[in-house]
Amino acid sequence: MKKVLMGNHAATIGAVLSRVQVVAAYPITPATQVIELIADMTAKGEYKGKFLRVESEHSAMAALLGASTAGARTFTATSSQGLAYMHELLHWVSGARLPVVMVDVNRALAAPWNLWTDQTDSLSQRDTGWLQFYCATNQEVLDTVIMAYKVSEKLLLPSMIMLDGFTLSHVYEPVDVPDQKAVDAFLPPFAPTTRLDVDNPGAFGSLETPKPYFRIRRRMAVDMDRAEALVEQVGSEFERSFGRGYGAIESYRSQDAEVSLVCSGAVGSTAKQAIDELRAEGHAAGLLRFRLFRPFPTQALKRLSRPDMKLAVVDRNYSPGHQGIFCEEIKAALYGTKGAPEVYGFVAGLGGGDITVELLKEMWHEVKNKTADPVSPLWMEDAR
Amino acid sequence: MPRLKDEPLTTPVITPSSRPMSENLTGDWRSVAPRVDGEKCTGCAICWKFCPEACVDISGETPKIDMHYCKGCGVCATECPSHCIHMSEEVVEEAAS
Amino acid sequence: MKASIAVDELMTSGHQACQGCGATLTMRYALKGLGKQTVVCLPACCWTVLSGAAPRCSIGVPLLHAPFASAAAAASGAKAGLSARGDDKTTVMAWAGDGGTYDIGIQALSGAADRNEDIIYCCYDNEAYMNTGIQRSGGTPFGAWTMTTPGKEGSPRPKKDLDAIMEAHSIPYIATATPAYPEDMVRKFAKAKSIKGFRFIHVLSPCPPGWKSDTDDTVKLSRLAVQTGMFALYEIENGKFKLNMNVAKRKPVGEYLKPQGRFRGLTPEATSVIQADVDTRWTGYAKRQANGA
C-alpha cells in the first residue's frame, strides 16, 4: 500500500513490520521521530512489543544487549552524539554475536555543535563489527530494515542502517509499504536456541584468554567474509517477494562510463540527475552508489570497475589525518589488483552542506580533466 | 609460525560458559586448615552456613569440610559457638622417594 | 543437622574469591532466596571474576556479563526480552558492586528505578573499587584508607546515602542486609522475588584485603556493623519504613573500626565524628519507626 512517509517513519514501520519485540531508545535530533512513532503506535495498540524509554543511548544499547541475549528481536534509533555515547556497547553487541538492528540518522559530531547530515558519525564506528547500510530513499530505508533482520539473524552480527539527517529523515516521499503477511513470509521469527534460559544455564561474555579470544575474532572475520554474498542473496530474495531488488553497490549508467561518481546516502539520488545531465551533454558519466559499507563490498567494487574507468569518490565525511573514508577504503580494497581504476577523492558537505548537481558535475570534470589529486582529497563546496 | 587459516575453524559462533566451577580445586590456596572436634560439635550447622566456599557437608552427624576446596579462611572456626573447629598448619606428606 | 536456611546450593565451590570473601556469602544467600528461576546481569566487579572465566561458571543460573555502567539497563532489557517471549515468571537480577552502583552505574540505576523496571537490583557493597585493587568509591566511608585516599586521614567525604537516593525514586521495595544475618537476607531476597516493580537490596559485604581485616573476621565485622549501628537492617515497602533490628543499645563504633586496618589512621576526633553520625542517623530511624513511616 502506497503511503507518503518521512524517512524516520519509514524506518519505524520497517521495524514494526519486522515484528520487533523490544525497542529501547533515547531521543536525539534528527532521529527522534523514529521513536515517537513507536510510542504512538504503542498507545494505539499497533505496536505490541516492549518499549523502554531509557535514560541514555548507552543504556539503550545495553538494554538491547539484555533483550537480544534473552532471545528477542530488537531495535533502536539514534544519531551522532547518541551513537558515539553507545560506542562501547557497539563493540559488545557484535562481540556477543547478537543480531540487533539499529537506524542511525547521519548527523555531524560536535564540537562544535551541528545538527545536519554528515556521515562521520556512523563511519567512525566502522571497526565495531556492525554491518553498515547507506540508504538513498525512504523506500530503501523501510526495505533495508526488513532485509537487515534477515541478514543479521543468519549471520549473528548486528546491522546499522543510515539515512541522511533532515535531507532524508524529515523528507516525505511516497513509499510502498508491504503488507504484514508478505513480510512474515519473507522474514521468519527470531528463534535462537542459545539464549538466557533457566533450563539451560550458562554465562554469556565470560573472560577468555588470548588464544580463544583470537579464534573468536577469527570466527567473526570468517562470518563477515561471507556477509557480502549474503546481502546480495537476501537482496535478490527481497526482489522476488516484493519486486524491488538491492545489491551491495548500485550501478547507474556506469558500464561504459569513463569517469564514475562514487557516493552514498541521499546524494545518490542527486548524483543520478548529475549523471543524466552529463550524459545529455555527451559525456560518458556513470555512478556507483555504495549501499553496503561493512563488510566492505570488495567483490562488487571489483566487478563494477574497469581498468579504463576513473572513480570520483565523493565523501560527506572525513577521517582527520587521512582522507575521506569511502575513498581511503576503496583505494585499500583495490590495492594490488591488476587493472584497478584510478581513484580520486573529494570531501564535501560536512556538517550538512548541500552537495548540488552542479557541484557533482564539477567534481566529475575535475577527474575527467586530470586536475584532481590522486593522493589527497579536494575539499569543495557549492558557494551559491 | 602457524597460520590460523591452516587451522580448522572449530570455534562456534557463540558459546555460553556452563562447565561447573567445581572443576577448579582451591584447596592448595590454604596455609592453615580447619579440623572439627566431633565430640564437642552440637550439630548447629553454623560452620556450613557461613562458609564462603560452600564446602561444608552437613549430611552426616558431624560437618565434613571438603579439603579439595577449603581455602583456610577460618570463618568457621571463629563463628563456631562451641569452639570446636581449630585452624592449624597442615602437615603436607612428602611423596615416598 | 538442621539448617536455618535452604540447603540447596546454587553457588559452587572452586570460585576464585579471596579467603573470607563477604561477596560470595552474599551471592550464596541471595540465590537461596531466589531459586533456579533467576537470571543474573553482572557488570564489571569482583563477581565478574568470581563467576568464572570461560568455559566455567560458578552459579547455576543464566548469567549475562555487561559493561561496567550498564547493570540496570542490561537487566531491564533482559527482563523485557524474556517477557516479550512470554516468560513473565523468571526473575531478573542486576548484581553490582558499589562502584557499578554508586558511581559509574548510577545513571542506569536511576533510570531503571525511575521507570519502575520489574527487576531486582542488588548492590553488594564492599565500600571501594575492590576488583581493580581498592580505590575509593562513593560508597567508601569517611576516614577509610584506599589506594586513592592513601593519606593518614583516609577518605575525606562521607559515604553517599544510596538508600535515600533510591527512596527518592518511589519504588515498591528497598531493603538492607549483611552476611552475618543469613536468615534475614534469604527472607528478603525471597520476598523481593514475589514483588513486582523495581526492588533494591543493599548488602554490606566485608572484604578482608580491602578492609585490611583478618580473613576469619568477615562475619564478625558484618555483625559488628549492625551492632554498632554503622549499618542498619531495615525495609522500606511502598514508602513505609520498618527497622528489622532496633539496635537501641549500640556498641561503640570503635569496636567495629578497630579490627579493620583501613581505619588505622583515624584520630579520636575522626572517630567521634563517625560516632556522632551514627547517633544522628539512629535518631532519624527511631523517629521514622515511631511514626510508622
Determine the Cα–Cα distance for residues C98 and A367; give it in Å rounded to an integer: 60
Residue C53 falls inside a structural domain: yes
Q: Does A191 touch chain C (CB under 8 A)?
A: no
In this structure, are A111 and A234 located in the same domain?
yes
Contact C140, C155 (CB under 8 A): yes
Length of chain B as a residue count: 97
User: By three-state DSSP, how is residue B4 classified?
Assistant: helix
State how far residue A164 is from chain C, nearest Cα, in angstroms.
29
In this structure, are A281 and A235 located in the same domain?
no
State the average pLDDT for chain A: 97
Element (H, E) at C214: none
The CATH number that applies at residue A115 is 3.40.50.970
In tens, the pLDDT along A73-105 reads 999 999 999 999 999 999 999 999 999 999 999
Determine the Cα–Cα distance for residues C175 and C38; give it in Å rounded to an integer: 19
User: By three-state DSSP, how is residue A287 classified?
Assistant: strand
Determine the Cα–Cα distance for residues B59 and C150; give it in Å rounded to an integer: 47
Residue C245 falls inside a structural domain: yes
In the block, cell 544487549 appears at A65
State how far residue B15 is from chain A, nearest Cα, in angstroms.
7
- Taking contacts as CB-CB distances below 8 angstroms, the residues of chain B near A156 are 13-14
Mark yes or no for CB contact B48/C1 under 8 Å. yes
The CATH number that applies at residue C101 is 3.40.50.970
The CATH number that applies at residue A303 is 3.40.50.920
Contact A203, C65 (CB under 8 A): yes
Contact partners of C by the rule of 3+ C-beta pairs under 8 A? A, B
In tens, the pLDDT along B6-41 reads 898 889 999 999 999 999 999 999 999 999 999 999
- Is CATH 3.40.462.20 correct for B27-89? no
State the average pLDDT for chain C: 97
Summarize the confidence of residues A27-46 as an average pLDDT: 98
CB-nearest to B16 from A204, A215, A223 is A204
Strands A310-315 and A259-263 come out as: parallel
Determine the Cα–Cα distance for residues C118 and C122; give it in Å rounded to an integer: 13
- Taking contacts as CB-CB distances below 8 angstroms, the residues of chain C near B44 are 1
In tens, the pLDDT along A344-375 reads 999 999 999 999 999 999 999 999 998 888 89
Determine the Cα–Cα distance for residues C121 and C209; give it in Å rounded to an integer: 25
Rounded to 5 degrees, φ, ψ at B36 are -90, 130
Cα Rg of chain A (Å, integer)? 20
Which residues form the domain of A261?
Answer: 250-379
In tens, the pLDDT along A209-239 reads 999 999 999 999 999 999 999 999 999 999 9
Closest B-chain CA to C213 = B73
Residue C9 falls inside a structural domain: no
In this structure, are A26 and A142 located in the same domain?
yes
In tens, the pLDDT along B31-80 reads 999 999 999 999 999 999 999 999 999 999 999 999 999 999 999 999 99
* Per-residue pLDDT, C54: 97
Residue A101 falls inside a structural domain: yes
Residue ending a domain, among A239, A271, A302, is A239
Report ipTM for this prediction. 0.97
Summarize the confidence of residues A140-148 as an average pLDDT: 98
State how far residue B44 is from chain C, nearest Cα, in angstroms.
7
Element (H, E) at A72: none
Q: Does A113 touch chain B (CB under 8 A)?
A: no
Contact C170, C132 (CB under 8 A): no
Q: Does A203 touch chain B (CB under 8 A)?
A: yes
In this structure, are A65 and A141 located in the same domain?
yes
Distance spanning both ends of chain A, measured CA to CA? 40
In this structure, are A182 and A267 located in the same domain?
no
In this structure, are A264 and A231 located in the same domain?
no
Determine the Cα–Cα distance for residues C180 and C164; give it in Å rounded to an integer: 23
Domain count, chain A: 2
For an interface test with C, the pick among B11, B14, B15, B21 (most C C-beta atoms closer than 10 Å) comes out as B21
> Which of A100, A105, A76, A194 has its CA nearest to residue A149?
A100
- Taking contacts as CB-CB distances below 8 angstroms, the residues of chain B near C218 are 52, 73, 75
* Per-residue pLDDT, A383: 86
Residue C42 falls inside a structural domain: yes
Closest C-chain CA to B64 = C1
* Per-residue pLDDT, B92: 65
Question: How many C-beta atoms surround the C-beta of residue A235 within 10 A?
Answer: 21
Mark yes or no for CB contact B14/A212 under 8 Å. no
Q: Can you read off the three cell numbers belonging to residue A33?
A: 521521530
Residue C267 falls inside a structural domain: yes
State how far residue B3 is from chain C, nearest Cα, in angstroms.
24
Work out the angle at residue B85's Cα, subtended by the Cα atoms of residues B80 and B87, and round it to the nearest 5 degrees: 125
Q: Can you read off the three cell numbers belonging to residue A104?
A: 542511525
* Per-residue pLDDT, B90: 83
Contact A75, A20 (CB under 8 A): yes
> Which of C178, A224, C47, C188 has its CA nearest to residue B50?
C178
pLDDT at B96 over 60: no
Mark yes or no for CB contact B45/C9 under 8 Å. no
Element (H, E) at A299: helix A298-304
DSSP B27: G
* Per-residue pLDDT, A138: 98
Closest B-chain CA to A199 = B18
Work out the angle at residue C32's Cα, subtended by the Cα atoms of residues C31 and C38, and round it to the nearest 5 degrees: 40
Domain count, chain C: 1
* Per-residue pLDDT, B5: 87
Q: Can you read off the three cell numbers belonging to residue C193?
A: 522475588
Residue C67 falls inside a structural domain: yes
When pLDDT is cut at 50, 70 and 90, the band that residue C293 belongs to is confident
Determine the Cα–Cα distance for residues A46 and A39; give it in Å rounded to an integer: 10
